[in-house]
């Protein structure tokens, strides 16, 4: 201390703090833990770690240490030791100054459920409630499990869900211990069912750009309906899957009016950017195979478009939006060698009353090799128009979707030897016009809870693409004597795709994704060879070989393998493929402006010439890690 020069009769105090070295925890030991191993107890101490643990801070914080002791006691309770406690603990330093912690556990006796009785249940029979509860006489007493089975289990297996999904919003169940005899506990589960609650008002807040009727048509909660927690959860999922709102800021409030027996449901939303822009440009110098020129891509996708407001200038921001329609335009050029243009429009609720979607799309692709006018000039032009209709089914449940697409495609080939259209007999189709008219039928079930970073749910789809069976009306002699151009003037095939994805939250934000894909190209009759069109290309990252996806092939990525590693055996493309993926995902950021997550994956797949060679266990395997970034303006990077 020393006199303060700026004040009379005052002294200044100055504290000098020397932090010194951080003190780490050398070890945490236990005694009295006869039924639980020490390493299990250490894992339950989430905030008090030994310094041996990598990526974990080793320090003693009193408040967190006390929480960890309570976690140990809670864990013992789940094992039936309801009297377990941390009787005492000691903390001291060794000669190096490191902390040593010792905890003395008193486990007590292990208890078991004995008699479980229900009281007050009139809506559901006791036998059915016992089945849902899933706890039997002789099971280890677990208070946490009991509470979960009575109220708000993650899998929906709980007593509260039975009543809340049937309108009984005022339902309550109170477990009462009626007897404790040695190591056995008798329970009486007292139910107050109460009256059913009716939905009064459904309120939507925060939709600054999206029109309210677009949101309301996705809701399963409507005024006058009986209250249902399952319908609220489903409504939340459907709104999030629109892709217009931030799932992390989604709010649901249910103010109750007990006197009237009604409840209001308030959905609080936060709009997020949903449109996408693709822009790149450059210049390619002339080479021996190309004259060069400007190369680039310009594409825009408006996922919340409004065609009815085109004439309303006040609705433009920068284009009319808010009606949930999807409109996209894209153009790509690499000079004379490659050009691609496409346009599509989707109305997800045709007519506005039912979830029947209409899609109209078209594209033009042009590929060229060498200079035009030369003898070796090659060109492939593809033009296609598509009209698709989809609807949501009510059976087996309303997660199912059926879709039908009519495709009219024309391929014009001029000396197109480099594009590898070959049939089973290695005959090359390089000139002429090929008409590819097909009908696509898709049956899918989607229960994914978030389109960007799903945490639970699944996506299953079976798709069939088929051309008319021309071979049924032609003789076998025609296929033995006709030229290649005559044989494939009209493409003929049956094409099956089966895709399945499952998402499971393992712990916290860690998500497991499992995926399987199978594709089979077949023919209508044994008169024909397997079609040289609509084959599969497996390998690579799915980007570098995407040009093949623009000229009548399906591109399937397989990390760890180049396309040539798998497809060298099939210069004309594969007739069958399979692919399996197991992936762990952990989000770094779930901000709607930039969703970032890391992945660790194991993947396998292979391709075969035709279905008779298919072997689902003959796969090429790879493992790895990666980082994915989703930006609303650009999509997944």
Q: What is the pLDDT of residue 546?
A: 46
- Distance between CA atoms of residues 263 and 226, nearest Å: 9
Same fold, 112-192 and 446-637: no
Position 279 pLDDT exceeds 60: yes
Q: Which of 331, 265, 269 is nearest to 297 (CA)?
A: 331
First-last CA distance in the chain: 61
- Amino acid 572: pLDDT: 83
Percent of the chain with pLDDT over 90: 63
Residue bearing the bigger pLDDT, 399 or 450? 399
Does position 11 have pLDDT exceeding 90, yes or no? no
pLDDT at 212 over 80: yes
Provide the pLDDT confidence category of residue 54 given band limits of 50, 70 and 90: low
Write phi, then psi, for 446 (nearest 5 degrees): -125, 115
Which pLDDT score, from 0 to 100, does residue 636 have? 57
Residue 47 to residue 61: CA distance in whole angstroms:
8
Residue 484 has pLDDT above 60, yes or no: yes
Domain at 25-106, CATH from 3.30.1330.60, 3.10.20.310, 3.40.50.620, 3.90.79.10: 3.10.20.310
Topology of domain 446-637, per CATH? Porin (2.40.160)
Q: How confident is the model at residue 1 (pLDDT cuts 50, 70, 90)?
A: low
Confidence of residue 504 (pLDDT cuts 50, 70, 90): very high
Residue of 624 and 369 predicted with greater confidence: 624
Residue 599's pLDDT band, with cuts at 50, 70 and 90, is very high
Tokens of 10: 């005052």
Give the least confident one: 36-45, 116-125, 626-635.
Answer: 626-635
Q: How far from 158 is each of 114, 148, 172, 196, CA to CA, in Å? A: 20, 7, 12, 18
CATH topology of domain 112-192: Ubiquitin-like (UB roll) (3.10.20)
This prediction has a pTM of 0.78
For residues 204, 208, 212, 218, the Cα torsion angle rounded to the nearest 10 degrees is -80
Q: What is the pLDDT of residues 359-383, one digit of tens each?
A: 999 999 998 887 666 777 888 899 9
Strand order in the sheet with 184-192: 112-119, 184-192, 172-181
Would strands 25-31 and 99-106 be described as parallel, antiparallel, or unpaired?
A: parallel
Contact 443, 461 (CB under 8 A): yes
Give the mean model confidence (pLDDT) for residues 478-497. Answer: 93
User: What is the structure's pLDDT at 630?
Assistant: 76
Residue 55 token pair: 């990526």
How far is the C-alpha of 309 from the C-alpha of 540, rounded, in Å? 43
Confidence grade of residue 581 (pLDDT, cut at 50, 70, 90): very high
Q: Quick check: 215 pLDDT over 90?
A: yes
> What number of other Cβ atoms are within 10 A of residue 288's Cβ?
6
Query: For the residues 40-69, what does the mean pLDDT come to?
Result: 84
Look at residue 59 in the predicted model and tell me its pLDDT: 85
Residue 501's φ and ψ, nearest 5 degrees, are -135, 140
According to the model, what pLDDT value does residue 549 have? 44
Q: Which is more confidently placed, 552 or 85? A: 85
Apex CA 634: angle with CA 246 and CA 236, to 5°? Answer: 20
Q: Which helix (H) or strand (E) holds 191?
A: strand 184-192
Number of H helices, E strands in the chain: 11, 29
If phi > 0 it is left, if psi is from -120 to 50 it is alpha, else beta; for residue 296 that is left
> String of b and e for 84-96 (b: at least 16 CB within 10 Å)?
bbbeeeeeeeeee
**pLDDT tens track for 125-145:** 999 999 999 999 999 999 999
Residues 161 and 153: their CA atoms lie apart, in Å, by 8
* pLDDT-based confidence at residue 23 (cuts at 50, 70, 90): confident
* Element of type H or E holding 213: helix 212-216
Give every CB contact of residue 78 below 8 A, 6+ residues apart in sequence.
Answer: 142, 143, 144, 145
CA atoms of 236 and 509, how far apart (whole Å): 19
For 353-410, the DSSP string reads SS-EEEEEEEEEEEEEES-TTSTT-EEEEEEEEEEEEEEE--SS-TTEEEEEEEEEEE
The CA distance from 245 to 276, in Å, is: 15
Summarised one tens digit per residue, pLDDT across range 98-122 is: 899 999 999 999 999 999 999 999 9
**Residue-wise over 220-257: b if at least 16 C-beta within 10 A, else e?**
bbeeeeebbbebbbbbbbbbbbbbbbbbeebeeeeeee
Q: What is the 3-state secondary structure (H, E, C) of 44-56?
A: HCCCCCCCCCCCC
Q: Which residue, 292, 277, 220, is CA-closest to 252?
A: 220
Domain ranges within the chain, ordered by starting residue? 25-106, 112-192, 198-268, 446-637
Whether a cis peptide bond, with omega within 30° of 0, leads into 571 is no
Please tell me whether the peptide bond between 422 and the residue prior to it is cis, using omega within 30 degrees of 0: no
Q: How would CATH label the architecture of 198-268?
A: Roll (3.10)
Asked whether residue 76 carries a pLDDT value surpassing 90, the answer given is: yes
């Amino acid at each position: 201390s020393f006199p303060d020069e700026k004040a009379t009769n005052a002294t200044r105090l100055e504290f000098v703090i020397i932090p010194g070295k951080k003190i780490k925890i050398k070890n945490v030991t236990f005694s009295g833990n006869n039924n639980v191993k020490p390493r299990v107890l250490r894992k339950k101490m989430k905030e008090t770690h030994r310094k041996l643990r990598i990526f974990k801070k080793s320090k003693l914080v009193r408040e967190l240490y006390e929480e960890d002791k309570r976690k140990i006691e809670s864990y013992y309770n789940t094992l039936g030791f309801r009297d377990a406690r941390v009787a005492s603990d000691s903390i001291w330093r060794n000669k190096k100054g490191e902390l040593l912690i010792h905890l003395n556990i008193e486990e007590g006796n292990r208890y078991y459920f004995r008699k479980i009785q229900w009281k007050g249940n009139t809506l559901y029979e006791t036998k059915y409630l016992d089945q849902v509860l899933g706890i039997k006489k002789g099971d280890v007493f677990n208070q946490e499990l009991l509470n979960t089975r009575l109220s708000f289990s993650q899998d929906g297996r709980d007593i509260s869900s039975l009543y809340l999904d049937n309108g009984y919003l005022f339902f309550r169940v109170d477990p009462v211990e009626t007897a404790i005899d040695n190591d056995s506990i008798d329970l009486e589960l007292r139910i107050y069912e109460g009256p059913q609650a009716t939905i009064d008002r459904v309120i939507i807040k925060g939709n600054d750009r999206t029109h309210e009727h677009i949101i309301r048509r996705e809701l399963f909660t409507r005024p006058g309906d009986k209250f249902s927690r399952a319908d609220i959860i489903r409504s939340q999922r459907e709104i999030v899957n629109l892709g217009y709102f931030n799932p992390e800021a989604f709010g649901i409030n249910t103010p109750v009016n007990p006197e009237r027996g009604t409840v209001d449901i308030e959905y609080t939303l936060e709009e997020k950017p949903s449109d996408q822009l693709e822009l790149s440009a450059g210049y390619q110098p002339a080479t021996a195979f190309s004259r060069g020129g400007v190369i680039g891509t310009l594409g825009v996708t408006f996922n919340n478009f409004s065609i009815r407001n085109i004439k309303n200038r006040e609705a433009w921001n920068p284009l009319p939006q808010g009606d949930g329609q999807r409109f996209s335009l894209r153009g790509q050029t690499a000079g004379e060698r490659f050009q691609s243009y496409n346009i599509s429009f989707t109305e997800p609720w045709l007519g506005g009353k039912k979830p029947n979607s209409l899609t109209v799309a078209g594209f033009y692709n042009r590929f060229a090799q060498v200079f035009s006018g030369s003898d070796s000039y090659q060109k492939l032009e593809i033009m296609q128009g598509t009209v698709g209709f989809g609807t949501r089914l009510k059976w087996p449940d309303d997660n199912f979707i059926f879709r039908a697409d009519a495709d009219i495609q024309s391929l014009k080939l001029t000396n197109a030897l480099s594009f590898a259209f070959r049939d089973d007999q290695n005959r090359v189709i390089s000139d002429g016009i090929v008409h590819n008219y097909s009908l696509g039928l898709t049956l899918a079930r989607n229960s994914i809870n978030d389109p960007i970073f799903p945490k639970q749910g699944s996506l299953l789809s079976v798709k069939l693409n088929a051309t008319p069976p021309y071979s049924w009306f032609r003789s076998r002699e025609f296929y033995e004597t006709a030229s290649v151009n005559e044989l494939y003037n009209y493409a003929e095939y049956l094409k099956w795709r089966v895709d399945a994805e499952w998402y499971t939250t393992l712990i916290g934000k860690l998500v497991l994704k499992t995926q399987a894909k199978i594709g089979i190209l077949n023919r209508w009759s044994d008169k024909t060879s397997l079609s040289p069109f609509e084959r599969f290309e497996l390998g690579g990252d799915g980007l570098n070989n995407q040009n093949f996806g623009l000229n009548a092939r399906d591109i399937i990525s397989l990390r760890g393998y180049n396309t040539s590693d798998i497809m060298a055996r099939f210069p004309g493309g594969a007739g069958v493929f399979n692919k399996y993926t197991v992936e762990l995902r952990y989000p770094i950021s779930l901000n709607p402006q930039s969703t970032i997550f890391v992945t660790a994956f194991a993947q396998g797949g292979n391709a075969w010439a035709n279905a008779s060679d298919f072997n689902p266990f003959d796969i090429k395997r790879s493992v790895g890690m990666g980082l994915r970034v989703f930006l609303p303006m650009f999509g997944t990077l």
